[in-house]
Structure 1
Amino acid sequence: MTAPSVPPTAATLPTSPEPLASHRPCLTELRLSAFAGHRGAGFPLGPLTVFAGPSGCGKTSALRAYEALARLGGGARLGDVFPDPVSCVPERARPDAQRRRGFRIGCTADGPEGPVRLDVAVQVEPELRIAGERLTADGLTLLETALRDPGRRAVQAAWHTAGSAPVTRAPLPDDRLGTALLPLRVAGKTDGQRRVLAAAEQMVVALRSVFACDPRPDWMRVPVPTGSGRLLGGCDNLADVLWRTRSECVRRHQQLVAAVRAGCAGPVADVLAEPLADGTVRAVLDRGGGHRTEFGRLGDGELRYAALTLVLLTGPGVLEVDAAGEVPPAMQTLTVLADGLDRSLDPRQRVELLRLAARMCERGHIRLVAAVSDGSWAVPVPGATVVHLDP
């Protein structure tokens, strides 16, 4: 579980139509130095990354760490991100002389500023707090924090200044990611400070706009009231979203219909939501000739396939994500985290879904990080980076 058994190469990554120097900020590596069942692990991330391996190999924990970093990058507090932090500590991790135990995770974000690395050490026992954080680029430490005084609810931070003083020192909260707080603390008056702000912004933008998705077929079978029209992670309000998207984007809806037709049994002329007398809406497949099939009658595989297809064909404006509102959409990339991507899908559905994902990821507007039990079927799909994990 510490490293891919067959490391992907650059040849497995699709070529983006955008120039490399101007591509949107995105994560290119996930590091699990000591997290759950992982030790010293570093995983490359491409536009379409598939973690593959048997149960217990650490696929879910890798996606969990990615989502945690994303939430921390959005400014969430440590306790909200890790409600059960003890489960993140490696099983055989022994406490130090001060009876402290914890875990370490990190990532690399590429973008206009080049590769920027973020590494975070989290203390779980005796109290949950960030024990240390480091933001680096080109071998230069731009931000470093350390827990100096266990009696204070703060860490001592030092960030690059390159002015009259080489660094600026100040306390930061011990339950928030310092990188996400830098825009509020760094003045940006010197070249060094501006470099710190640019690197922090690149990391935060790369981490934000993450949609963790695990469609729940039982929830999708029930009619739902109309609401925000933004898809939830469980896709239980899919009918409400279809009610909105079918009229808002005809071209994308036609693509959805074509994709559902390729993965569902029987003819499919349309995918839509129809209103009911009680004010709710339900999703249906229009079979043509006046015949319709309620989503409640579809199998689990068909429902998960339809929901994941909709996710890949939409964007932050439709999905319930924490997008960076202060950053233009053209500079952001939506990342979908899909644990158990192949769950309940038959061989045709999973290949069709991954091919659709590869096409969408190649355009540069979306990235997919997924977990599957067996990655052999994913290897032949052009553009897929398959990371094999050992138990």
Structure 2
Amino acid sequence: MHPPPAPARTPTTLRPHLTELHLSTYAGHRRTTLPLGRLTLLTGPSGSGKSRALEAYAALARLAAGADLTEAFPAPATCVPRTARPDPQHRRGFRIGCTADGPAGPVRLDVAVQVEPELRLVGERLTSDGLPLLQTALRDPGRRVVQAAWHTAGAVPVTRGPLPDDRLGTALLPLRVAGGTDGQRRVLAAAEQMVVALRSVFPCDPRPERMRAPVAPGGGRLLSGCDNLADVLFRTREECGQRHALLVAAVRAGTAGTVTGLRVEHGDDGLLRACVDRGEGSPATPLELLGDGELRHLALALVLLTGPGVLEVDPVGEVPAALQTLTVLADGLDRSLDPHQLRELLRLAVRMCDRGHIRLIGAVADASRVAGVEGVTVLHLGA
């Protein structure tokens, strides 16, 4: 696999974003590096590791948001390569990481997670231009801490101290580093860039069987499975007519028959029901009558046209939205979509990703359906 050509460094590309995902030893992956463009699709046969790669990305995002290891890896034993043998201390685990680009330049994060005999983060390394900015190591297995050393470049070149062994040290650095020297400021800038790049993530897997049911009015923030689609459609139609018109155009491209609009109605039971308008003199079509492909196309188009304020994501509140890039993780992107729907969805995705506010990393089962699509980076796994 060859990385996509590096784009010119512009205000858009300087928003923190991941450029590589590193799966050193993770499930079926060994020494795997995935270069990530604005719109990246993973392809390959069943079992090639497409879903596990997206899973690793999502886990790093949860760690960057402050989750502990049990929250980031609910089934850690499945992350250990089957061929991994315990060391003399009966320890087994896995290693993953990523590279983020942005104002601080390329910054790499690598983490080593021990799963057996107990779950703990036993090693972490944050580097920039080959310079270690943060390193942690497990020195005393009897204590629930790791020994950390971060770059200072002052009177003392390195500062040392303990960090918990169940959380990402990079995310904790702003609480530990004073920022009084150029070295400390470099550490803080690199850590902030990595955390912002990772936290702005929305894993999305629309479930048509859940989208057809009427829903109660809520906060109008789209869930990962798009269960509350009607509630979000009601909100987006009221808030932004221009964006809603773009959504209608996208739905028109992926839905059979005439489409003139999307409407949400309040039932006598207080629930919201969405429907597709078919034009004057034609009855509207309730969402529950649409096919699985039509519903998934609608939901994914909505995700691409909205942002963190509408999606159920963990916002990086301390960073202005204009400086963030939302990354959508879409496993099984082509599931239930016919060739026309997939092509139209990718066209929309390319347009939205080119604006720089959103990135898309998806997995598709059939590589032939996305081959040659302009603006898409296709990575073949398992070859």
TM-score using structure 1 length:
0.96
CA deviation string 1:150-186 (max 9, x = no partner): 1000000000001111100000000000000000000
| Alpha-carbon shift at residue 9 of structure 1 (Å) | 3.4
Say whether 1:300 aligns with 2:292: yes
The match for 2:224 is 233
The match for 2:134 is 143
CA deviation string 1:282-313 (max 9, x = no partner): 11101111520001001101010100000000
The residue type equivalent to 1:208 in the other structure is R
The match for 1:362 is 354
Within a 5 Å distance, the mapping from 1:1-391 to structure 2 comes to: 4=1, 7-10=2-5, 19=10, 23-290=14-281, 291-390=283-382
Aligned partners of 2:12, 2:50: CA distance in 1, in Å?
31
Preserved CA contact (<8 Å) 1:8 1:386: no
The residue type equivalent to 2:236 in the other structure is T
Preserved CA contact (<8 Å) 2:16 2:324: yes
The residue type equivalent to 2:374 in the other structure is P
Aligned partners of 1:107, 1:75: CA distance in 2, in Å?
17
| Alpha-carbon shift at residue 375 of structure 1 (Å) | 2.0
The verdict on how the C-alpha distance between 1:256 and 1:332 changes in structure 2, with shifts beyond 3 A counting, is same
CA deviation string 1:123-166 (max 9, x = no partner): 00000000100000011000000011110000000000011111
Aligned partners of 2:93, 2:38: CA distance in 1, in Å?
31
Aligned partners of 1:34, 1:189: CA distance in 2, in Å?
37
Q: Secondary structure at the match of 2:369?
A: coil
Aligned partners of 1:342, 1:85: CA distance in 2, in Å?
28
CA deviation string 1:238-264 (max 9, x = no partner): 000001000101111000000000011
CA deviation string 1:29-62 (max 9, x = no partner): 0000000000000010000000001110000000
Q: Secondary structure at the match of 2:90?
A: coil
Preserved CA contact (<8 Å) 1:22 1:112: no
Aligned partners of 2:11, 2:227: CA distance in 1, in Å?
38
CA deviation string 1:186-228 (max 9, x = no partner): 0000110000000000000100110000000010000000001
Identity %: 70
The residue type equivalent to 1:246 in the other structure is R
The residue type equivalent to 1:320 in the other structure is E
| Alpha-carbon shift at residue 383 of structure 1 (Å) | 0.8
| Alpha-carbon shift at residue 22 of structure 1 (Å) | 6.1
Q: Secondary structure at the match of 1:370?
A: strand
Aligned partners of 1:231, 1:269: CA distance in 2, in Å?
23
Aligned partners of 1:86, 1:308: CA distance in 2, in Å?
32
| Alpha-carbon shift at residue 379 of structure 1 (Å) | 2.5
Q: Secondary structure at the match of 2:253?
A: helix
CA deviation string 1:325-344 (max 9, x = no partner): 11010110000000000000
Gaps of 5+ in 1: none
Aligned partners of 1:21, 1:348: CA distance in 2, in Å?
30
The verdict on how the C-alpha distance between 1:21 and 1:287 changes in structure 2, with shifts beyond 3 A counting, is closer
| Alpha-carbon shift at residue 274 of structure 1 (Å) | 1.2
Q: Secondary structure at the match of 2:368?
A: coil
Aligned partners of 2:59, 2:13: CA distance in 1, in Å?
27
The residue type equivalent to 2:278 in the other structure is R
Preserved CA contact (<8 Å) 1:133 1:178: yes
Preserved CA contact (<8 Å) 1:233 1:320: yes
Preserved CA contact (<8 Å) 2:4 2:35: no
The residue type equivalent to 1:122 in the other structure is V
Aligned partners of 2:13, 2:215: CA distance in 1, in Å?
42
Aligned partners of 2:315, 2:140: CA distance in 1, in Å?
35
The verdict on how the C-alpha distance between 1:304 and 1:21 changes in structure 2, with shifts beyond 3 A counting, is closer
| Alpha-carbon shift at residue 271 of structure 1 (Å) | 1.3
Q: Secondary structure at the match of 2:284?
A: strand
The residue type equivalent to 2:178 in the other structure is A
Aligned partners of 2:12, 2:127: CA distance in 1, in Å?
19
Which structure has more relative contact order (CA 8 Å, sep 6+)? It is 1
The residue type equivalent to 1:295 in the other structure is L
Q: Secondary structure at the match of 2:15?
A: coil
Task: State the aligned residue count.
Answer: 382
Gaps of 5+ in 2: none
